[in-house]
Amino acid sequence: MPGPAAYIFDLDGVVYHGNSVIPDAAETIERLRAAGIRVVFLTNNATRTREAIAAKLEGMGIRCSAGDVISSAYATPLYIKQQYGTSSIFPIGEQGLVTELECAGHTIARQDVDFVVVGLDRQFTYDKLATGLDNIRNGARFIATNTDAMLPTENNFLPGAGSMVAALAAASGVEPEVVGKPNKPIMDVLLQEYGLKVWECTMVGDRLETDILAGINAGMHTVLVLTGASRIEDIEALEIRPETILDSIADIE
> Catalytic residue numbers?
10, 12
Kindly give the pairing relationship between strand 201-205 and strand 157-159: unpaired
- How many C-beta neighbours within 10 Å does residue 94 have? 19
| Preceding omega of 182 cis (within 30 degrees of 0) | yes
**E-state strands within 131-194:** 141-144, 150-152, 157-159, 177-178
Q: Pseudo-torsion of CA 211, 212, 217, 220, nearest 10°?
A: 100
CA distances from 137 to 77, 113, 171, 172 (A): 22, 11, 10, 7
